[in-house]
Structure 1
Protein backbone atom coordinates (compact mmCIF):
# COMPACT_ATOMS: atom_id res chain seq x y z
CA UNK A 1 0.00 0.00 0.00
CA UNK A 2 1.40 3.39 -1.03
CA UNK A 3 2.22 6.13 1.46
CA UNK A 4 -0.96 7.93 2.48
CA UNK A 5 -1.76 11.48 3.50
CA UNK A 6 -2.63 10.08 6.95
CA UNK A 7 0.87 8.58 7.28
CA UNK A 8 2.41 11.94 6.36
CA UNK A 9 0.09 13.84 8.72
CA UNK A 10 0.87 11.45 11.59
CA UNK A 11 4.60 11.73 10.93
CA UNK A 12 4.37 15.53 10.89
CA UNK A 13 2.35 15.57 14.12
CA UNK A 14 4.78 13.27 15.97
CA UNK A 15 7.69 15.34 14.69
CA UNK A 16 6.11 18.60 15.87
CA UNK A 17 5.46 17.09 19.31
CA UNK A 18 9.24 16.75 19.59
CA UNK A 19 10.08 20.01 17.75
CA UNK A 20 7.21 22.50 18.29
CA UNK A 21 9.45 25.43 17.34
CA UNK A 22 9.25 24.26 13.71
CA UNK A 23 5.47 24.56 13.45
CA UNK A 24 5.52 27.83 11.45
CA UNK A 25 7.66 26.15 8.76
CA UNK A 26 5.33 23.16 8.51
CA UNK A 27 1.91 24.87 8.63
CA UNK A 28 1.90 25.19 4.80
CA UNK A 29 2.35 21.39 4.56
CA UNK A 30 -0.67 20.83 6.81
CA UNK A 31 -2.58 23.34 4.67
CA UNK A 32 -1.83 21.29 1.55
CA UNK A 33 -2.97 18.11 3.31
CA UNK A 34 -6.13 19.84 4.58
CA UNK A 35 -7.10 20.86 1.03
CA UNK A 36 -6.70 17.27 -0.20
CA UNK A 37 -3.51 17.91 -2.16
CA UNK A 38 -1.59 14.75 -2.98
CA UNK A 39 1.81 15.68 -1.62
CA UNK A 40 3.05 12.16 -2.38
CA UNK A 41 2.94 13.11 -6.07
CA UNK A 42 5.94 14.87 -7.58
CA UNK A 43 3.42 16.71 -9.76
CA UNK A 44 2.16 18.70 -6.73
CA UNK A 45 4.41 21.70 -7.28
CA UNK A 46 3.15 23.73 -4.30
CA UNK A 47 5.01 21.13 -2.24
CA UNK A 48 5.57 17.39 -2.31
CA UNK A 49 7.17 14.90 0.02
CA UNK A 50 10.69 13.63 -0.49
CA UNK A 51 12.97 11.61 1.78
CA UNK A 52 16.59 11.85 2.78
CA UNK A 53 19.05 9.54 4.51
CA UNK A 54 21.52 11.05 6.94
CA UNK A 55 23.82 8.05 7.22
CA UNK A 56 26.76 7.99 9.61
CA UNK A 57 29.74 5.65 9.25
CA UNK A 58 31.95 4.22 12.00
CA UNK A 59 34.20 7.30 11.83
CA UNK A 60 31.21 9.56 12.53
CA UNK A 61 31.17 10.98 9.01
CA UNK A 62 28.01 11.70 7.05
CA UNK A 63 27.56 10.40 3.49
CA UNK A 64 26.96 13.06 0.84
CA UNK A 65 26.22 12.48 -2.83
CA UNK A 66 26.83 14.93 -5.66
CA UNK A 67 23.44 15.36 -7.33
CA UNK A 68 23.73 15.66 -11.10
CA UNK A 69 20.64 17.81 -11.82
CA UNK A 70 21.16 20.24 -8.92
CA UNK A 71 24.96 20.22 -9.22
CA UNK A 72 25.38 20.20 -5.45
CA UNK A 73 26.33 17.95 -2.54
CA UNK A 74 23.28 16.56 -0.73
CA UNK A 75 22.23 13.70 1.49
CA UNK A 76 21.13 10.61 -0.44
CA UNK A 77 17.39 10.72 -1.03
CA UNK A 78 14.65 11.50 -3.45
CA UNK A 79 11.02 11.21 -4.43
CA UNK A 80 8.44 8.76 -3.16
CA UNK A 81 7.48 5.78 -5.30
CA UNK A 82 4.12 4.03 -5.46
CA UNK A 83 5.56 0.86 -3.89
CA UNK A 84 6.82 2.70 -0.78
CA UNK A 85 4.73 1.91 2.29
CA UNK A 86 6.38 4.34 4.72
CA UNK A 87 8.63 7.36 4.63
CA UNK A 88 11.36 5.42 6.45
CA UNK A 89 11.18 2.62 3.88
CA UNK A 90 11.36 5.20 1.07
CA UNK A 91 14.52 6.71 2.60
CA UNK A 92 16.14 3.25 2.74
CA UNK A 93 15.13 2.55 -0.87
CA UNK A 94 16.58 5.85 -2.08
CA UNK A 95 19.80 5.24 -0.14
CA UNK A 96 20.20 1.81 -1.76
CA UNK A 97 19.35 3.12 -5.25
CA UNK A 98 21.75 6.05 -5.14
CA UNK A 99 24.69 4.45 -3.31
CA UNK A 100 24.31 0.69 -3.52
CA UNK A 101 24.31 0.43 0.29
CA UNK A 102 21.59 -2.17 0.97
CA UNK A 103 18.99 -1.74 3.70
CA UNK A 104 20.34 -4.78 5.56
CA UNK A 105 23.70 -2.98 5.97
CA UNK A 106 22.03 -0.04 7.71
CA UNK A 107 20.63 0.49 11.21
CA UNK A 108 17.92 3.08 11.71
CA UNK A 109 18.37 5.47 14.63
CA UNK A 110 14.68 5.71 15.49
CA UNK A 111 11.61 5.35 13.32
CA UNK A 112 10.80 9.06 13.01
CA UNK A 113 12.53 11.74 10.94
CA UNK A 114 15.39 13.51 12.65
CA UNK A 115 14.62 16.59 10.57
CA UNK A 116 11.99 17.84 8.13
CA UNK A 117 13.21 20.51 5.76
CA UNK A 118 11.01 22.51 3.38
CA UNK A 119 13.06 24.08 0.60
CA UNK A 120 12.74 25.39 -2.96
CA UNK A 121 13.86 23.40 -5.99
CA UNK A 122 14.71 25.26 -9.20
CA UNK A 123 12.81 24.67 -12.41
CA UNK A 124 13.99 21.72 -14.51
CA UNK A 125 13.15 22.22 -18.18
CA UNK A 126 14.35 18.71 -19.09
CA UNK A 127 11.61 17.26 -16.85
CA UNK A 128 9.08 20.03 -17.58
CA UNK A 129 9.04 20.92 -13.88
CA UNK A 130 8.55 24.50 -12.71
CA UNK A 131 10.22 25.82 -9.59
CA UNK A 132 8.61 23.98 -6.68
CA UNK A 133 9.04 22.96 -3.03
CA UNK A 134 10.24 19.75 -1.42
CA UNK A 135 9.13 18.64 2.02
CA UNK A 136 12.14 16.49 2.85
CA UNK A 137 11.67 13.91 5.62
CA UNK A 138 15.22 13.09 6.76
CA UNK A 139 15.95 9.89 8.68
CA UNK A 140 19.11 9.04 10.59
CA UNK A 141 21.00 5.78 9.99
CA UNK A 142 24.28 4.15 10.96
CA UNK A 143 26.35 1.79 8.82
CA UNK A 144 29.65 -0.03 8.64
CA UNK A 145 29.25 -0.39 4.86
CA UNK A 146 30.72 1.81 2.19
CA UNK A 147 29.30 3.06 -1.10
CA UNK A 148 29.02 0.18 -3.56
CA UNK A 149 27.46 1.42 -6.79
CA UNK A 150 26.37 4.94 -7.62
CA UNK A 151 23.18 5.59 -9.57
CA UNK A 152 25.12 7.44 -12.27
CA UNK A 153 22.10 8.94 -14.02
CA UNK A 154 21.43 11.02 -10.85
CA UNK A 155 24.65 10.88 -8.82
CA UNK A 156 28.15 11.83 -9.97
CA UNK A 157 30.14 11.19 -6.76
CA UNK A 158 29.91 10.25 -3.10
CA UNK A 159 31.93 11.45 -0.13
CA UNK A 160 31.96 10.82 3.62
CA UNK A 161 32.22 14.25 5.25
CA UNK A 162 32.43 15.71 8.74
CA UNK A 163 29.22 16.68 10.52
CA UNK A 164 30.29 20.33 10.25
CA UNK A 165 29.28 20.27 6.56
CA UNK A 166 25.59 20.04 7.51
CA UNK A 167 23.28 22.96 8.19
CA UNK A 168 22.87 23.90 11.86
CA UNK A 169 19.57 22.22 12.75
CA UNK A 170 20.40 18.87 11.17
CA UNK A 171 23.94 18.98 12.55
CA UNK A 172 22.64 19.65 16.08
CA UNK A 173 20.04 16.87 15.87
CA UNK A 174 22.59 14.30 14.70
CA UNK A 175 25.10 15.38 17.34
CA UNK A 176 22.42 15.00 20.03
CA UNK A 177 21.31 11.59 18.74
CA UNK A 178 24.85 10.31 18.18
CA UNK A 179 27.20 12.15 20.56
CA UNK A 180 30.25 10.38 19.10
CA UNK A 181 29.84 12.39 15.86
CA UNK A 182 30.67 15.73 17.51
CA UNK A 183 34.42 15.22 17.41
CA UNK A 184 34.61 14.25 13.74
CA UNK A 185 34.29 17.75 12.34
CA UNK A 186 37.68 18.15 10.67
CA UNK A 187 38.66 21.38 8.93
CA UNK A 188 38.19 21.28 5.18
CA UNK A 189 35.95 18.22 5.15
Structure 2
Protein backbone atom coordinates (compact mmCIF):
# COMPACT_ATOMS: atom_id res chain seq x y z
CA UNK A 1 0.00 0.00 0.00
CA UNK A 2 1.30 3.46 -0.87
CA UNK A 3 1.57 6.33 1.60
CA UNK A 4 -1.18 8.09 -0.37
CA UNK A 5 -3.49 5.08 0.00
CA UNK A 6 -2.73 4.87 3.71
CA UNK A 7 -3.50 8.57 4.16
CA UNK A 8 -6.86 8.21 2.42
CA UNK A 9 -7.76 5.19 4.60
CA UNK A 10 -6.64 6.96 7.79
CA UNK A 11 -8.67 10.05 6.93
CA UNK A 12 -11.76 8.05 5.98
CA UNK A 13 -11.59 6.26 9.35
CA UNK A 14 -10.96 9.45 11.34
CA UNK A 15 -13.98 10.16 13.54
CA UNK A 16 -13.18 13.20 15.69
CA UNK A 17 -16.19 15.43 15.23
CA UNK A 18 -15.06 18.23 17.58
CA UNK A 19 -15.49 21.68 16.10
CA UNK A 20 -14.33 21.86 12.49
CA UNK A 21 -12.76 18.38 12.37
CA UNK A 22 -15.39 16.82 10.06
CA UNK A 23 -15.02 19.73 7.63
CA UNK A 24 -11.21 19.49 7.73
CA UNK A 25 -11.34 15.73 7.19
CA UNK A 26 -13.37 16.27 4.02
CA UNK A 27 -11.07 19.09 2.88
CA UNK A 28 -8.06 16.76 3.24
CA UNK A 29 -9.80 13.98 1.31
CA UNK A 30 -10.86 16.41 -1.46
CA UNK A 31 -7.32 17.80 -1.63
CA UNK A 32 -5.84 14.31 -2.02
CA UNK A 33 -8.42 13.44 -4.70
CA UNK A 34 -7.33 16.49 -6.70
CA UNK A 35 -3.62 15.82 -6.02
CA UNK A 36 -3.17 12.03 -6.18
CA UNK A 37 0.45 12.29 -7.36
CA UNK A 38 1.82 15.09 -5.19
CA UNK A 39 -0.63 15.84 -2.34
CA UNK A 40 1.61 14.02 0.15
CA UNK A 41 4.82 15.81 -0.82
CA UNK A 42 6.48 19.12 -0.13
CA UNK A 43 6.56 19.89 -3.87
CA UNK A 44 2.77 20.39 -3.96
CA UNK A 45 2.46 24.17 -3.74
CA UNK A 46 -1.33 24.01 -3.21
CA UNK A 47 -0.55 22.36 0.13
CA UNK A 48 0.43 18.90 1.29
CA UNK A 49 -0.24 16.43 4.04
CA UNK A 50 2.20 16.46 6.96
CA UNK A 51 2.41 14.25 10.04
CA UNK A 52 3.14 15.29 13.60
CA UNK A 53 3.06 13.87 17.10
CA UNK A 54 2.73 15.48 20.50
CA UNK A 55 5.22 13.80 22.83
CA UNK A 56 3.47 13.32 26.17
CA UNK A 57 4.48 12.06 29.59
CA UNK A 58 1.13 11.43 31.33
CA UNK A 59 2.73 10.13 34.54
CA UNK A 60 4.26 13.58 35.10
CA UNK A 61 1.47 15.62 33.46
CA UNK A 62 3.67 17.20 30.81
CA UNK A 63 4.36 17.48 27.09
CA UNK A 64 7.59 18.01 25.17
CA UNK A 65 7.58 20.92 22.73
CA UNK A 66 10.22 22.07 20.28
CA UNK A 67 11.11 25.68 19.61
CA UNK A 68 10.97 25.47 15.83
CA UNK A 69 14.04 26.98 14.18
CA UNK A 70 12.30 28.60 11.20
CA UNK A 71 8.96 29.54 12.77
CA UNK A 72 10.33 30.59 16.19
CA UNK A 73 7.30 28.96 17.86
CA UNK A 74 6.81 26.21 20.43
CA UNK A 75 5.23 23.28 18.55
CA UNK A 76 4.77 19.53 18.66
CA UNK A 77 7.26 17.42 16.70
CA UNK A 78 6.41 16.86 13.05
CA UNK A 79 6.99 17.60 9.44
CA UNK A 80 6.99 16.38 5.90
CA UNK A 81 6.33 12.85 4.79
CA UNK A 82 9.27 11.14 3.13
CA UNK A 83 9.36 8.52 0.34
CA UNK A 84 10.44 5.83 2.82
CA UNK A 85 7.40 6.36 5.07
CA UNK A 86 5.02 3.43 4.72
CA UNK A 87 2.17 5.09 6.64
CA UNK A 88 1.15 8.43 8.15
CA UNK A 89 1.54 6.99 11.65
CA UNK A 90 5.08 5.87 10.77
CA UNK A 91 5.90 9.36 9.47
CA UNK A 92 4.59 10.96 12.68
CA UNK A 93 6.57 8.54 14.84
CA UNK A 94 9.74 9.06 12.76
CA UNK A 95 9.43 12.84 13.05
CA UNK A 96 8.77 12.68 16.80
CA UNK A 97 11.75 10.41 17.35
CA UNK A 98 14.10 12.47 15.16
CA UNK A 99 13.09 15.83 16.61
CA UNK A 100 12.88 14.77 20.27
CA UNK A 101 15.90 12.47 20.28
CA UNK A 102 13.88 10.03 22.40
CA UNK A 103 14.04 6.36 21.38
CA UNK A 104 11.16 4.07 22.30
CA UNK A 105 8.26 6.46 21.69
CA UNK A 106 4.95 4.71 21.03
CA UNK A 107 1.92 6.23 19.37
CA UNK A 108 -1.25 6.48 21.40
CA UNK A 109 -3.69 3.89 20.00
CA UNK A 110 -6.71 4.97 18.01
CA UNK A 111 -5.13 6.82 15.10
CA UNK A 112 -4.81 10.59 14.73
CA UNK A 113 -5.85 12.81 17.63
CA UNK A 114 -6.63 15.91 15.52
CA UNK A 115 -6.30 17.53 12.13
CA UNK A 116 -4.89 21.04 11.75
CA UNK A 117 -4.69 23.11 8.57
CA UNK A 118 -2.32 26.04 8.77
CA UNK A 119 -0.72 28.49 6.33
CA UNK A 120 3.03 28.38 5.85
CA UNK A 121 5.54 30.80 4.29
CA UNK A 122 7.16 29.94 0.99
CA UNK A 123 6.07 28.55 -2.33
CA UNK A 124 3.71 26.10 -0.62
CA UNK A 125 0.60 27.71 0.82
CA UNK A 126 -0.48 25.31 3.58
CA UNK A 127 0.19 22.21 5.65
CA UNK A 128 -2.59 19.70 6.14
CA UNK A 129 -1.30 18.25 9.38
CA UNK A 130 -2.43 14.87 10.68
CA UNK A 131 -1.67 14.98 14.39
CA UNK A 132 -0.90 11.97 16.57
CA UNK A 133 0.25 11.64 20.18
CA UNK A 134 3.37 9.73 21.24
CA UNK A 135 3.90 8.36 24.72
CA UNK A 136 7.37 8.94 26.14
CA UNK A 137 9.01 6.06 28.00
CA UNK A 138 9.60 6.59 31.75
CA UNK A 139 13.35 7.09 31.27
CA UNK A 140 12.98 9.52 28.34
CA UNK A 141 15.89 11.89 27.79
CA UNK A 142 15.41 14.42 25.01
CA UNK A 143 18.11 15.69 22.64
CA UNK A 144 17.84 18.82 20.50
CA UNK A 145 17.93 18.20 16.74
CA UNK A 146 19.15 20.47 13.94
CA UNK A 147 15.54 21.58 13.36
CA UNK A 148 15.10 22.98 16.88
CA UNK A 149 16.40 25.91 18.82
CA UNK A 150 15.28 24.27 22.07
CA UNK A 151 13.28 21.38 23.53
CA UNK A 152 11.41 21.72 26.78
CA UNK A 153 8.91 19.80 28.89
CA UNK A 154 5.86 21.88 29.82
CA UNK A 155 3.21 21.00 32.39
CA UNK A 156 -0.21 20.77 30.74
CA UNK A 157 -1.41 24.02 32.31
CA UNK A 158 1.59 26.02 31.01
CA UNK A 159 1.21 25.16 27.32
CA UNK A 160 -1.28 27.97 26.62
CA UNK A 161 1.27 30.53 27.85
CA UNK A 162 3.92 29.48 25.30
CA UNK A 163 2.15 27.88 22.32
CA UNK A 164 -0.59 28.83 19.90
CA UNK A 165 -4.18 27.56 19.95
CA UNK A 166 -3.46 24.63 17.63
CA UNK A 167 -1.02 23.15 20.15
CA UNK A 168 -3.39 23.85 23.05
CA UNK A 169 -6.21 22.04 21.20
CA UNK A 170 -3.88 19.11 20.48
CA UNK A 171 -2.91 18.84 24.15
CA UNK A 172 -6.59 18.95 25.18
CA UNK A 173 -7.59 16.31 22.62
CA UNK A 174 -4.70 14.08 23.65
CA UNK A 175 -5.63 14.32 27.31
CA UNK A 176 -9.21 13.35 26.45
CA UNK A 177 -7.91 10.36 24.50
CA UNK A 178 -5.83 9.23 27.49
The equivalent of 2:176 in structure 1 is 176
RMSD of Structure 2 on Structure 1 (CA)? 2.0
Q: How many residues align?
A: 167
Separation of aligned partners in 1, 2:76 and 2:6: 23
Q: How does 1:65-144 map to 2 (within 5 A)?
A: 65-102=66-103, 105-123=104-122, 130-143=123-136, 144=138
How many angstroms does 1:28 deviate by? 2.7
The equivalent of 1:163 in structure 2 is 156
How many angstroms does 1:39 deviate by? 1.5
Q: Would you say the 8 A contact 1:101–1:145 is kept in 2?
A: no
The change in CA–CA distance for 1:2 and 1:34 in structure 2 (over 3 A counts) is closer
The equivalent of 2:143 in structure 1 is 149
Separation of aligned partners in 2, 1:141 and 1:64: 12
Separation of aligned partners in 1, 2:171 and 2:83: 31
Separation of aligned partners in 2, 1:171 and 1:148: 19
The equivalent of 1:184 in structure 2 is none
How many angstroms does 1:24 deviate by? 2.0
How many angstroms does 1:23 deviate by? 2.2
The change in CA–CA distance for 1:20 and 1:163 in structure 2 (over 3 A counts) is closer
How many angstroms does 1:169 deviate by? 3.1
1:113-166 Cα distance to aligned partner (Å, 9 max, x none): 01111111122xxxxxx25111111111211243443212x1110011122425
The equivalent of 1:51 in structure 2 is 51
Separation of aligned partners in 1, 2:24 and 2:107: 25
SS at match of 1:151: coil
SS at match of 2:112: coil
1:49-103 Cα distance to aligned partner (Å, 9 max, x none): 111111111312011001101111110111111111011111111112112111x
SS at match of 1:101: coil
More displaced stretch, 141-150 vs 70-79: 141-150
Pick the structure with greater CA Rg: 1
SS at match of 2:25: helix
